[in-house]
Amino acid sequence: MKIAVSGKGGVGKTLVAGVLADFFVKKGFKVLAIDADPSPNLALTLGISLDEASKIVPVSENAQLLESKTRTGFAGVYRLSFSVDDIVEKFAVRSPYGVKLLVMGTVRSAGGGCTCPANAVIRALLQHLFVELDEVVIMDMEAGVEHMGRGTAGHVDIMLIVADPSLKSMDTAKKIYGLAAEAGIKKAFIIGNKIRNASESKLIQRFAADNKIPILDLVPHDEQILKADMQGETPLKYAQDSVGITNIQKIGEELLNIKDVKS
Ligand SMILES: Nc1ncnc2c1ncn2[C@@H]1O[C@H](COP(=O)(O)OP(=O)(O)O)[C@@H](O)[C@H]1O
Ligand SMILES: [Mg+2]
């Protein structure tokens, strides 16, 4: 199963991606989490220490790796055909709960004819991870799927679009839903997050209905999750039995039940 988690900044993408990755590991799946946010922080949610997280070099900034993959010996000329299957083995870090994490760094749109080494490697790598790798893959990303390329985006089984009850985040959700459909992603859903009361859940439900976007579930606002943040702790440990976390785990169960998606 290949899942992409998207939405406006601050809505809870990293929380959802991290809790789901952990959930699937506990269900016995092999799970690779990809942090494709330009300011990556999925590591902390997965329980990797600040110290260890600060040492991770994102793929897009790993000059040595990019060089070794794309070098031809001629200045300005890059090799565009290379293998990437060793990258996970060499560069993924393992969370204390058993999730493998690969930090991509800034993933720019592959359009505009840019053939710079970082784009070439990342595109090939995403293609490999989403198309060939036989594991649960969960990608925490900033916004759309433009940088993936059609071939890869078409292999995303589920796009989860996280939105909180604000017009801006819902407007972003609508744009992402359109992009996901264009890219050929089969299933896209909204997850409403940080819901404080009935009128907030109604707001999201009305928005989704008006725009014909299916809602997968609504996650309540949860003080325990914020407290975990303030303690510098992963909510997987600090808030593990809280309403917010258990709700996202329930979403994990729902994803397993969604028809014709197999791990
Ligand atoms: N359901 C929730 N209840 C309370 N706080 C939440 C909830 N979901 C996310 N948060 C908090 O909101 C902030 C942003 O979440 P994060 O997952 O980093 O968002 P994103 O990755 O979309 O930028 C974090 O401080 C996180 O702890
Ligand atoms: Mg994030």
Select the more confidently predicted residue: 138 or 60: 138
Nearest CA to ligand 1 atom 10: 12
Mutate to test the pocket of ligand 1, among 14, 15, 194, 200 (most ligand atoms within 8 A of CB): 15
Instruction: Identify the helix (H) or strand (E) that includes residue 218.
Output: strand 215-220
DSSP state string for 228-244: HHHTT--HHHHTTTSHH
Stretch 116-127: mean pLDDT, rounded?
Answer: 85
221 ligand 1 Cβ < 6 A: yes
Nearest CA to ligand 1 atom 19: 12
Domains and CATH numbers, the chain: 2-257 (3.40.50.300)
> Which ligand is nearest the CA of 162, by number?
1
Please state the pTM of the whole predicted model.
Answer: 0.94
Quick one: three-class SS letters along 131-144? HHCCCEEEEEECCC
Give the pLDDT of residue 217. Answer: 97
Of the chain, the percentage scoring pLDDT greater than 70 comes to 91
Per-residue confidence at 112, pLDDT binned at 50, 70, 90? very low
Q: 221 CA distance to ligand 1 centroid (A)?
A: 9
As a whole number, the mean pLDDT across the chain is: 90
13 ligand 1 Cβ < 6 A: yes
Burial class (CB in 10 A: 0-12, 13-18, 19+), 256: middle
* pLDDT tens per residue, range 229-246: 999 999 999 999 999 999
Asked if residue 149 has pLDDT above 70, the reply is: no
Stretch 143-156: mean pLDDT, rounded?
Answer: 71
Of the chain, the percentage scoring pLDDT greater than 90 comes to 71
> Which ligand is nearest the CA of 193, by number?
1
DSSP state string for 2-59: EEEEEESTTSSHHHHHHHHHHHHHHTT--EEEEEE-SS--HHHHTT--HHHHHTPPPG
* pLDDT tens per residue, range 158-196: 999 999 999 999 999 999 999 889 888 889 999 999 999
Nearest CA to ligand 1 atom 7: 194
